Structure formats: C-alpha cells, structure tokens
Homo-oligomer: A and B are copies of this chain.
Amino acid sequence: MAPPRGGGSDAAAGEAIAAPVDQQQRPVSSILIIIAMQTEATPLVNKFQLKEDLDSVFPKGAPWVRYYGTYKDLQINLVWPGKDSTLGVDCVGTVSAALVAYAAVQALKPDLIINAGTAGGFKAKGAGVGDVYLISGVAFHDRRIPIPVFDLYGVGSRKPCSTPNVAKDLNLKVGKLSTGDSLDMSPQDEASITANNAVVKDMEGAAVAYVAEMLQVPAIFIKAVTDIVDGDKPTAEEFLQNLAAVTAALDASVTQVIDYINGKCVCEL
C-alpha cells in the first residue's frame, strides 16, 4: 500500500500550543528543558550549574534523570530520558520522549517547555551543519495510516507556542521539524518529510509537542543540525562526528533564548 498523503501538514496543523490565559500574562517562572541525549544535556547542566535530583521525582524503574536549579529569575528543570537499563544507550525516540515529558510535566508543572536537541538538516531547504533552528511547526513522518482522518492523526501536525519576537530579536533561523523513530530515512519517510515541508528531522519533537498540547503547556523547539540528510555522508557517521561540536552551538542558542525569556510573559515571546 502506498504511503498516504494526509492533506499536507499545514492543512492538518492545529492551533498553536498555548498556555491558559492567566499563565500567559505573568512572567515565566519555571522552564522544563527536555533533551534526548546525555551529550546534548551536559553542556547545559554545566552552563546553568544544575544539580542532579538524586531523590527522583520519577517512579522506581524509570531511567529518567532530572537536573534542577535557579538561573536569573527562572527555575530550571532539565530532564533527559536516561540510559536504557539493559543496553546502556540513551533512550532516544518518541516513546521515551513522550513518557518523560508527561511525567515531568505532571511532577513539575512548568510554565514553558523547551525541547532542545540535535537534528538532521536538509541542504535543499538551506540547512548547514551547526545551524540552529527555532521550530515553526512539527509533525511525524513515520506514522502512515491510510484511512481518512486517521491519516491526519498519524501526521500529527502541531504548531509550537508562538514566538515571533524570539526569532526576530535573536535573529534565529526558523523552520519546520519532522519527527520519526529512525535515524536513517526510507523513501516513505522522505515523501512524508517533504509533505511536512521540514528543514530538519529529529526523533522526539512531535512526541513532546503531542504531550505539551495534551497537558496545555506552551512548548518551543530548538534544534541544531549535526548532519545533512540529503548530503553525501552517511547519517550515522556524520551525526557522531559532529555531535559534540554542534551541542556547543545548541548550548549557546538555548542560553540566548533563556536569557531572552527571563522576565517576560509567554505572550511577549
């Protein structure tokens, strides 16, 4: 069966993920940063001098790790899904990201989620290694359900919290993100990514957006390009080569964004 084209991501996109009105009109006081890999998390943990929560807010058995601290006027929690208890690798992908996002929001009641991480970029859309994008729309590219309306559910297009001032004042690149559970890209994935009009692809964003919308927490997405998907180098090799260096660029942009948020309401972003 051919992969369905669910009407295009723009047609399917819901409302932007918005906070309740009362939250929008007071300065953000608590930020939840969700990051998939330890290598991506460590520079930010160091930058904001966060401490590890050794008496976990998460249930026994969950490998999820929380770091916390205060930075300027902001309470910052940074969570990553930890290492797989059997295999020892970072718990990447949509299921882990959704679970840790859900559990962290329930435990910590943040005003704002920032999902930060590395991503593959499409040079045909203007992406280069080391570029950092503020994401204007998210969708899935590997949930093909060729039944009317279920097709749109599978694509799961969502808009992040509206942040026109962040993009303009910090001069960040802006583009769409497509999420799937594979590091590589099959022809079916590629067709869906094209339909999603994405400049970057990751393995978590759209799942975090799903949870954020469900629990009504505004969410923004910052993705740094480690590898060029439509380039000549194998994705896995390029990803591993650039991971450490690109996290420095990610670190710098996340810090810029958090400095910008400090003292502002969500509606001022």
Contacts and interface: CB of A to CB of B under 8 A. Distances in A.
A236 B182 contact: no
Interface string A165-190: 00000000000000011111111100
A48 interface: no
A161 to B, nearest CB: 16
A143 interface: yes
Contacts of A86: 14
A236 B146 contact: yes
B95 A186 contact: no
A149 interface: yes
Interface stretch (A49-57, A97-105, A110-118, A250-258): A97-105
A240 to B, nearest CB: 7
Interface stretch (A39-47, A193-201, A209-217): A209-217
B87 A149 contact: yes
A93 B182 contact: no
Nearest to A105: B59
Interface string A136-160: 0000101111110110111000000
A145 B154 CA distance: 21
A153 B106 contact: no
27 contacts: A1-B184, A1-B185, A63-B214, A87-B149, A87-B153, A89-B149, A89-B153, A91-B153, A92-B145, A92-B153, A94-B94, A94-B95, A98-B98, A98-B99, A99-B99, A99-B102, A99-B211, A102-B102, A140-B181, A142-B180, A146-B184, A146-B235, A147-B183, A147-B239, A147-B240, A186-B186, A186-B188
A248 interface: no
Nearest to A150: B89
Nearest to A187: B186
Contacts of A153: 84, 87, 89, 91-92
